Amino acid sequence: MVRAGDNLRCHRAGVCATCAVLELQDVSLFVGRGEAVQAILADITLKFPRRHFAAVIGPSGCGKSTLLKTIAGIAHGREEGDILWDTRNLVEHDFAPSEIGYVPQFSIAHEELTARECVEAAVKLRLRGARGEALDNLVENTLAEVGLTESADRFVSVLSGGQKRRLALAMEIASAPAILLCDEVTSGLDAQSEDEVVFLLRELANHDRLVVSVTHSLRHLDLYDSVAVLTRGALAYHGPPDELAHYFRVENLEALYARLEEREAADWAASWRKHSAAYTAAIYESAVADEIEAFASATASPPPDLDETIVETAGTHRPPAGELPGPLSQFATLLARRFRIFFRSRGQLFLQLGLILGFPVLVAIFAWNGLPEVRNLSVGLDLNVARQLAEALDFLKQASKVGSLVSGIVMFQVILLTLMGANNSGREIAAERLIFEKEKLSGLRCSSYIASKAAFLFLLVAAQSVWMGLFVHFVCDFPGELGAQLFFLLLVNAAMTSICLGISAWMATAEQASLVSIYLVGFQLPLSGAVLALPEWIGQAVRPFISAYWSWSGVLQTLRGERYYDIVQMVVQTALSPAALCAWVLLAHVIIGLVLAWLGSRTNRMS
Mean pLDDT computed over 424-441:
93
Give residue 33's pLDDT: 81
Residue 28 binned pLDDT confidence (cut-offs 50, 70, 90): very high
Question: Can you tell me the distance from the alpha carbon of 93 to that of 84, in angstroms, rounded to the nearest whole number?
Answer: 10
The most confident of the ranges 295-309, 386-400, 467-481 is: 467-481
Residue type, 593: G
Question: Can you tell me the distance from the alpha carbon of 506 to that of 534, in angstroms, rounded to the nearest whole number?
Answer: 31
The most confident of the ranges 199-213, 313-327, 455-469 is: 455-469
HSE on the CB side for 289, CA within 13 Å?
Answer: 8
Residue 257 has pLDDT above 80, yes or no: yes
What are the backbone angles phi and psi of residue 146, rounded to the nearest 5°?
-105, 5
Give residue 223's pLDDT: 93
Mean pLDDT computed over 290-294:
56
Give residue 374's pLDDT: 62
Find the range with the poorest average confidence among 18-27, 289-298, 320-329, 469-478.
289-298
Share of the chain above pLDDT 90, in %: 57
Mean pLDDT computed over 5-25:
54
The rounded mean pLDDT for the chain is: 85
Residue 535 has pLDDT above 60, yes or no: yes
Residue 546 has pLDDT above 80, yes or no: yes
Residue 110 binned pLDDT confidence (cut-offs 50, 70, 90): very high
DSSP string, 232-249: TTEEEEEE-GGGHHHHHT
DSSP string, 23-69: EEEEEEEEES-GGG-EEEEEEEEEEE-SSEEEEEE-STTSSHHHHHH
Question: Can you tell me the distance from the alpha carbon of 140 to that of 428, in angstroms, rounded to the nearest whole number?
Answer: 30
Instruction: Give exposure, 331-368, as e/b (b: 16+ Cβ within 10 Å).
Output: bbbbbebbebbeebeeeeeeebeebbeebbeebbeebe
Question: Can you tell me the distance from the alpha carbon of 254 to that of 259, in angstroms, rounded to the nearest whole number?
Answer: 10
Residue 2 has pLDDT above 80, yes or no: no
Domain spans in the chain, listed from the N-terminal domain onward:
327-372+402-602
Residue with the bigger pLDDT between 330 and 533: it is: 330
Residue 308 has pLDDT above 50, yes or no: no
Beta-carbon count within 10 A of 470 CB: 15
CA 236 to chain centroid, in Å, comes to 35
Residue 552 has pLDDT above 60, yes or no: yes
pLDDT tens for 137-153 read 999 999 999 999 999 99
Residue 27 bridge partners (DSSP): 44
Residue 502 binned pLDDT confidence (cut-offs 50, 70, 90): very high
Beta-carbon count within 10 A of 255 CB: 13
CA 201 to chain centroid, in Å, comes to 26
Find the range with the poorest average confidence among 27-31, 470-474, 538-542.
538-542
